[in-house]
A and B are shown apart, each in its own frame.
Chain A
Amino acid sequence: MSTPLIKADNLTVGYNIGKSLLSKQVLKAVNGVSLEIEKGSFFGLVGESGSGKTTLGRALLKAAPITGGGAFYDDGEVRYDLTSLQGAQLKDYRKRAQLIFQDPYAALSPRMTVRDIIAEPLEVMGLTKTRAETDERVREIAAKCRLNLEHLRRFPHAFSGGQRQRISIARALVSGPQFVVADESVAALDVSIQADVLNLLKQIQRDMGLTFLFISHDLSVVAHTCDHVAVMYLGRLVETAPTRKLFEAPRHPYTKALFSAIPSLDPDDRGRAQKLTGEIPSPTNQPSGCKFHTRCPHAIDLCKSQEPTLEHVGDQHEVSCHRWRELIEVPA
């Protein structure tokens, strides 16, 4: 087993939201998450909106304040402690870790040509000396993302969603990062284009040997792209496993519910699955004990009082549930 590229250790991201001086309320968007992302892997992070998955991704890019625990980056060349990263080291880390946004419409400045958008990281980071060199790099990465040369002169308004997302990808990759966070990068795309962008991401990841953190709410997309999946609920990691294991034998009731919620393509298979009731609680008003007990069909008194910890289930498979052993037989 190689050393992990990204290692989070009890990572917590909190925001102060209390207005009054007496009651200082802290919103813990990410709450004590530990995970390791292997170099060269395609790591999936799944959860509903409000689960803290986007915040975790941002924290690993040093774009959200880490208030507790630690996070480390180690690509063999350099080793950074993300909690104390600043100055020149932070600048260097920006070259090595990049983000692909969800909305290909908001992430591209409407006032810059595609060439300028892709070239901006190079110019900001001072990676290239001359304009010719910049153009060279831009053309190279644009070709990898299947953008034509004449596209580079155009402005973003000339492009469809899929093309815009490819521009976004090219921009994120132009500085030659090792670690890329793709935050819901296909959620805003049409189905017929979604597969195309996913394939492109996979191909680039293989060709350039990158490590991806792929954040998504869509389990079926994650299933097809990622090697390893972590499921988040209300700032906590509830289950993490290699993709295949997770899909063959999910252990956490929440993971099971997520699976059963995916609408089946079979018109004769209607309404079979057990559906989750209720909605994800507000992160400002978190339940005691297991965060999931308010919606869990199998919750017992223990779940309300005591918070479960991640337990080893099998090879690289961990789950955070008091009753996972008893629930093995309960179908997904």
Chain B
Amino acid sequence: MLPRRLSLWLTDALMYALLIGVSAFMMLPFIWMVSTSLKPADEIFAIPPIIISPNSTLNAYVYLQEQYNIIGIIKNTFVIAFSATILRLFFCALGGYGFAKFKFPGQAALFAFLLGTMVIPSAVTLVPVYIIMRDLKWIDTFWPLIIPGAANAFGIFFMRQYTMSVSNELMDAARIDGAGEFTIFWRIILPIIAPGLTSLGLIFFMGSWNDFVGPLIYLKSPEHFTLPLIIRSLIGPVGRTVYDVQMATSVISLIPLLIIFLIFQRRFVEGITAGAIKG
């Protein structure tokens, strides 16, 4: 048996070693991504590898703007993610409020049905939804990426849990004053549930900003592409892939999310864990 102090010290050392080791594994791809995006082409595969090149250049970023109008691509990605998020938040807040603060016939069954829809894998609806979008002439537009997910089962569940904790007194007072039901939602409920909406909105925004499959299926012309799709399309013939440009796009796609995440980290984590722990 080791003396108690030594064994405690060993446990601490092991714990820090594991934490630092895993953190390093997590950070390495980011470092390599940024480093590659700044290297001149002939240093990308240099042996031994160069981490910070003395010849660092922003050529890859300039090339991206000149050849691919990357600012336009950022705009596309933002427009889709922003409109999808706002629409989703509105319908989820409204639906969550409906389930949390009212009693109506069939409520339990409707709610169970809502939760049940979450187990259906998207592979089953993939083909028919594509056909619907084609018949609506929505291929190569942003609509397929915004409309079908506008009312999200998880989001309604999340907002219902959140809204249930709001007290009824304010609502009842407003009703006595003769406020309409929608006014009560818009003026009284919405400001109170704003923190919950922030958590949910961050998840929605990230999901949409990072979405790959949707844009891959529905966006056809390069000027409509989103950031993940551009990264994919930069893959060249074997051995000719422009890695510096590809990594530059990756850096660009990460930065806005990184800033948002670092600011709202607590809300973000709340949103992610709420479904797992309360559900």
| Co-assembled chains A and B | no
Point out residues on B near A: beta carbons under 8 Å: none
